[in-house]
Amino acid sequence: MSLFERYLSLWVALCIVAGIGLATLLPGVFTALAGLEFASVNLIVAVLIWAMVYPMMVAVDFSALRDVGARPKGLVITLVVNWLIKPFTMAALGVLFFRLVFADLIDPEDAGQYIAGLILLGAAPCTAMVFVWSQLTRGDPNYTLVQVSLNDVIMVFAFAPIVALLLGVTDLVVPWDTLVLSVVLYVVLPLVAGALTRARLLRQGGTAAVADFTARIKPASILGLLLTVVLLFGFQGNVILDNPFLIVLLATPILIQSYGMFALAYAWAWRWKVPHDVAAPCALIGTSNFFELAVAVAIGLFGLNSGAALVTVVGVLVEVPVMLSLVWFANRTRERFPA
């Protein structure tokens, strides 16, 4: 890893501070940028995430996809953790902390909202950012693509029923336009662009040309991540500054859930002797969340200033530092897995 990549956690921390500081100094600018959205998807953030994902998509070798079925263990771990464990443990943690542990520290009327926000986070596995985490752990891009694609398909059919079951409601309205648009923006379009670019490079100079191109555009991926952090924390800077203690309370079950899900999936992959380039991404997928969808649904169901919406924003706050720490851990334990 380059010096810049090695200290990525430091740059992310500086971007968090920069986002909150710039939002305080230039609130009108961030208000205008936050208003540039379609179907609850912020277009500026979409472009930056696209910039993050595109370099990884160039590395996808479609001829290797047919061999993924020969290694089903990573897919089994991903699907079981994401859909049979994660939503329900997140709901249980929400009840534990906001009905019992933190009951004397919060308004009882807000407890249900906070639990709902946690459920929305837990039921929405990561779609786009996982390509960044996969790259930073030298994950297999083809296998990661299949894992994300399967999650996307399942999410279309399972997200609403799971959330409805856990929330105890029957009239849940999921913003399907947000879901479909996010998948198209963050997966389909970068994948098509990456495939076209790869085909052109292979014609011009073979795999060496592909490797040279991806190395040259890799900084754009990291820059996209950092600018996304600046924007997200700029959009929510006032909320974070106005409620620092509440943010800590809301972050506690999210942190426990994140590290717990990673430990479960990573240990399972190690026990099954899954290669590290599959084990690391499959554990990271089960840890991170599709925060764009969670935020959109929370706002649609409970309102922009609701406790549920605040929890999903805290999920964004926690996401990047937690994932970077797990990337570091995964890279440090690479030798414990089969080559």
Residue 50's CB is within 10 A of a number of other CB atoms, namely 18
Q: Rounded mean pLDDT of the chain?
A: 82
pLDDT band of residue 39 (cuts 50, 70, 90) is low
pLDDT band of residue 5 (cuts 50, 70, 90) is low
The pLDDT score that the predictor gives to residue 307 is: 81
Single-letter amino acid, residue 25: L
Residue 37 bridge partners (DSSP): 42
For the chain, the residue count is 339
The pLDDT score that the predictor gives to residue 170 is: 41
Cβ contacts of residue 81 below 8 Å, gap of 6+?
Answer: 261, 264, 265, 268, 286
The pLDDT score that the predictor gives to residue 299 is: 67
Residue 38 bridge partners (DSSP): 41
DSSP state of 236: T
Candidate ranges 18-22, 52-56, 158-162; pick with highest mean pLDDT: 18-22
List pLDDT tens digits, range 247-286: 889 999 999 999 999 999 999 999 999 999 999 998 998 8
pLDDT at 138 over 80: yes
**Backbone conformation region of residue 287, classed left if phi is above 0, alpha if psi is from -120 to 50, else beta:** alpha
The pLDDT score that the predictor gives to residue 321 is: 84
3-state DSSP of 271-307: HCCCCHHHHHHHHHHHHCECHHHHHHHHHHHHCCCCH
The pLDDT score that the predictor gives to residue 179 is: 60
DSSP string, 133-196: HHHHTT--HHHHHHHHHHHHHHHHHHHHHHHHHHHT-S-----HHHHHHHHIIIIIHHHHHHHH
Distance CA 182, CA 178 (A): 6
Distance CA 265, CA 17 (A): 32
- CA distance to 10, 29, 267, 276, 319, per residue, from 240 (Å): 20, 18, 34, 37, 15
Tell me the whole-structure pTM to 2 decimals. 0.76
Query: Domain ranges in the chain?
Result: 3-336
Distance CA 33, CA 30 (A): 5
Residue carrying the six token digits 């805290």: 314
**CATH 2.70.240.10 describes domain 3-336:** no
Distance CA 37, CA 47 (A): 11
Q: Is the dihedral of CA 323, 332, 262, 132 positive or negative?
A: positive
pLDDT at 151 over 50: yes
Q: Taking residues 65-82, what's their average pLDDT?
A: 81
